[in-house]
């Protein structure tokens, strides 16, 4: 089943985010190589593809896991959690409808 992982950033987290980004992306690429990643990306803090120093307000990952517990364990082991980028992480089941 797919699960939505929503990370909400702490204020002024851009420097921490940039430092932890390579390790964060490596985990996402592993999910992608396993065919389990549906989508992933950050939420710019301003209405811009490149928000510059405004940074990001959080991230969304939708990926396949065997259970919500497995998804929560994976999410809580993210380098952004360890680096203090995320103030909170929410994991919810996700049912993909479109595109088919």
Q: What is the pLDDT of residue 22?
A: 98
pLDDT band, very low/low/confident/very high, at 26 (cuts 50, 70, 90): very high
pLDDT tens for each residue of 45-58: 999 999 999 999 99
Residue by residue, DSSP assigns 44-83 as ESSSSSS-GGG-EEEEEEEEE-SSHHHHHHHHHT-HHHHT
């Amino acid at each position: 089943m797919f699960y939505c992982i929503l990370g909400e950033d702490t204020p002024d987290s851009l420097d921490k985010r940039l430092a932890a980004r390579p390790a964060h992306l490596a985990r996402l690429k592993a999910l992608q190589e396993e065919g389990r990643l549906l989508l992933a990306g950050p939420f710019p803090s301003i209405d811009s593809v490149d928000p510059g120093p405004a940074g990001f307000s959080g991230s969304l990952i939708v990926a396949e896991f065997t259970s919500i517990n497995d998804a929560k364990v994976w999410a809580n082991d993210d380098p952004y959690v360890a680096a203090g980028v995320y103030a909170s992480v929410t994991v919810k089941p996700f049912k993909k409808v479109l595109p088919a």
